[in-house]
Structure 1
Amino acid sequence: MAESVPRLLPAQQATLDVIRMPASQRPVYPQRFAADLRDRASDTLAPMVGAARALDSRGLWVSKRDLAGVFGCEARYLADSDAPFEWSVPAARGTVLHKAVELTAHRRFTPADAVDAAVERLIDDDANLGGFLAAATEGERADLVANCVALLTRFDETFPPMLRSWRPAAEIRARAQLCGGAFVLNGKYDLALGSPAPLDVPDGNQRAGKVIIDLKTGSRSPTDPEDLRFYALVETLSIGVPPLGVGSFYVAEGRIEHEAVTADVLDSALRRTIDGIGRLIALRQGIQRPRRVPGPPCRWCPISAGCEPGQAWLSDPDD
Structure 2
Amino acid sequence: MTRGCDSVDSGGVDQQPPLTPTQQRLLDQLRRDGDPLVFDADEIDDLVRRAHDVVAEVSARLGGERLVVSKGFLTQVHGCEARHLLPDSFRWNAATARGFVSHRAIELAAHWQGDPAPEVLVDEAIARLADQASYQGDFIAGLTDADRAELRAGAVERVTRFLQDFPPVPARSQPVYEARTRWAPPGCIELVGKTDLVIGRPNGRVSTKLVIDLKTGWPSPTHRDDLRFYALLETVVRRVPPRRLVTYYLDSAEADVEDVSMAVLETALARLEGGVRRHAELVADARPPLKRPGRSCRWCPALVTCDEGRAHLAALDDDGSQGFDD
TM over 0.5: yes
Matched, 1:189 2:200: no
- What displacement does 1:285 show? 2.6
- Tell whether the 8 Å contact from 1:106 to 1:164 is kept in structure 2 after alignment: no
For the residue of structure 1 that corresponds to 2:308, the secondary structure is helix
CA distance in 1, matches of 2:88, 2:190: 23
CA distance in 2, matches of 1:21, 1:251: 22
Amino acid at match of 2:39: Y
What does residue 7 of structure 1 align with?
18
Task: Name which of 101, 110, 124 aligns with 1:105.
Answer: 110
Q: Deviations over 1:35-90 (max 9, x none)?
A: 32211222344432312344x1xx422111111111111112222xx044321111
CA distance in 2, matches of 1:33, 1:112: 48
Cα-Cα RMSD: 1.9
What does residue 36 of structure 1 align with?
46
Amino acid at match of 1:149: V
- What displacement does 1:265 show? 0.6
Q: Which runs of 5+ in 1 are unaligned?
A: 199-205
- Tell whether the 8 Å contact from 1:175 to 1:187 is kept in structure 2 after alignment: yes
1:26-175 equivalences in 2 (<5 Å): 26-54=36-64, 56=65, 59-79=66-86, 82-107=87-112, 108-175=115-182
- Tell whether the 8 Å contact from 1:217 to 1:250 is kept in structure 2 after alignment: yes
Q: Deviations over 1:128-173 (max 9, x none)?
A: 2111111101110011111111111111222111111121111111
What does residue 302 of structure 1 align with?
301
For the residue of structure 1 that corresponds to 2:184, the secondary structure is strand
What does residue 279 of structure 1 align with?
278
- Tell whether the 8 Å contact from 1:26 to 1:244 is kept in structure 2 after alignment: no
CA distance in 1, matches of 2:218, 2:101: 18
- What displacement does 1:16 show? 0.8
Give identity over the alignment, percent: 39
- Tell whether the 8 Å contact from 1:210 to 1:244 is kept in structure 2 after alignment: yes
- Tell whether the 8 Å contact from 1:94 to 1:217 is kept in structure 2 after alignment: no
For the residue of structure 1 that corresponds to 2:182, the secondary structure is strand
The number of equivalent residue pairs is 304
Amino acid at match of 2:107: E
What does residue 291 of structure 2 align with?
292
CA distance in 1, matches of 2:51, 2:91: 35
- What displacement does 1:278 show? 0.1
What does residue 253 of structure 2 align with?
254
Q: Deviations over 1:263-294 (max 9, x none)?
A: 11101111111111100111223521111111
What does residue 262 of structure 2 align with?
263
- Tell whether the 8 Å contact from 2:56 to 2:187 is kept in structure 1 after alignment: no
What does residue 233 of structure 2 align with?
234
Structure with the greater relative contact order (CA < 8 A, sep ≥ 6): 1 or 2?
1
Q: TM-score, normalised by structure 1?
A: 0.89
- What displacement does 1:25 show? 2.2
- Tell whether the 8 Å contact from 1:169 to 1:193 is kept in structure 2 after alignment: yes
CA distance in 2, matches of 1:197, 1:151: 33
- What displacement does 1:219 show? 3.0
CA distance in 1, matches of 2:195, 2:20: 26
CA distance in 1, matches of 2:32, 2:142: 45
CA distance in 2, matches of 1:162, 1:132: 31
